[in-house]
Structure 1
């Protein structure tokens, strides 16, 4: 079931909280992002030449192709852009149902994430959500929204 921000979509969901079943891969491009999560900060790449944010992490700017990339801490405030309730886990370790969402960060960045708490019980498009963290066993954390 997929829900886009359109009056024809919506609904009530039930949610179970679960622990993330594996550690995400950290590479030379994403290392800054993952290190920032240890401080519970959400950092997004920013091209100094184009003056635009880009997500997901890449070695070069998706607009100009240069490597003038820095990282900026973002607010953690967002609105739900679309969402989907997952009833069938993609692999062992994920406990359905859970809600995956694309949120629009205040800085105008689309970010794929998971909704937790009240936001996951009855998600509504355009509803405000805020950043929180799902702990990982190695000290990093996954950015999720509530």
Structure 2
């Protein structure tokens, strides 16, 4: 099998991989959209139950609020062997940490907790979609390099 045939076979495989990654990324984006819409719906229900001013941006921390730290942080790792970055979520648990739902009171409707769960799920899907996008960019870069190599081999 010649080098040109080998490159064509690898290009075919990488193109199929790219299409699979595109499909997975589209599915992740649909999942994100559904989770965000569901979370927003639960927020609207909570706002209806508690009243217009009970669930609003007025309850969110401002610059003058006491300091608080995020409950979830995003980290990235670079694989030295492949050169690929992956991102993951780290959930931080501390004893003194207050659940952000408590910013809206102590007797809040279950819909507020459901909204929180849906937004957290959306965040996980955003990270997965980002990782898929990075894989897709790397795969497309490899495809372009192989196409250039194929052109050079075809000329000779």
The reply to whether TM is greater than 0.5 is: no
Q: Give the structure, 1 or 2, with the largest relative contact order (CA under 8 Å, sep 6 or more).
A: 2
Normalized against structure 2, the TM-score is what?
0.17
Tell me which protein shows more helix as a share of its residues.
Answer: 2
Query: Which one has a bigger Cα radius of gyration?
Result: 2
TM-score (norm: length of structure 1): 0.18
